[in-house]
Amino acid sequence: MAQRKRGPFVSVQLMSRWRNIVGLNVGMGEFLHKYPHVFELFVHPLRRNLCCKITQRMRDLIDEEGKIVKEYEPELLQKVKKLLMMSKNGTLHVHALRLIRRELGLPEDFRDSILRTHSKDFRLVDLEIVELVDRNESLAKAEVEKWREKEYVDKWLSEFETSYAFPINFPTGFKIEGGYREKLKNWQRLPYLKPYESKEVLRVRTCGGIERFEKRAVGIIHELLSLTVEKMLEVDRLAHFRKDFAIEVNVRELLLKHPGIFYICTKGSTQTVFLREAYSKGCLALPNPIYVVRRKMLDLILLGHRNTRSLEDLEEIKEERNGSVFRTNVGVRRDGDWIVPILDSYDQNAFGSLGDINDSKQPFDGCESGRN
Of the listed ranges 192-201, 205-214, 257-266, 294-303, the least confidently predicted one is: 205-214
The pLDDT assigned to 200 comes to 58
In the chain, the amino acid numbered 31 is F
User: Is residue 33 in some structural domain?
Assistant: yes
Cα 156 to the center of its chain, rounded Å: 34
pLDDT-above-70 percentage for the chain: 80
- Against a cut of 0.85, is the pTM above it? no
84 pLDDT band, cuts 50/70/90, is: very high
pLDDT at 308: 63
Q: Is 15 among the domain residues?
A: yes
Residue 285 lies in a domain: no
Q: How far apart are the first and last CA of the chain?
A: 41
Confidence band for 127, pLDDT divided at 50, 70 and 90 = confident
Does residue 146 lie within any of the structural domains?
no
Q: Measure the CA–CA gap between 284 and 323, rounded to whole angstroms.
A: 17
Q: Which helix (H) or strand (E) holds 4?
A: none
Residue pair 251/237 in contact by the 8 Å Cβ criterion: no
pLDDT of residue 156: 79
pLDDT of residue 275: 96
User: Is residue 311 assigned to a domain?
Assistant: no
Q: Is residue 104 part of a domain?
A: no
**Structural domain range at position 37:** 9-54
Helix, strand, coil percentages for the chain (3-state, nearest 5): 40, 15, 45
Q: At what angle do helices 289-303 and 56-71 cross, to 10 degrees?
A: 170
Domain count, the chain: 1
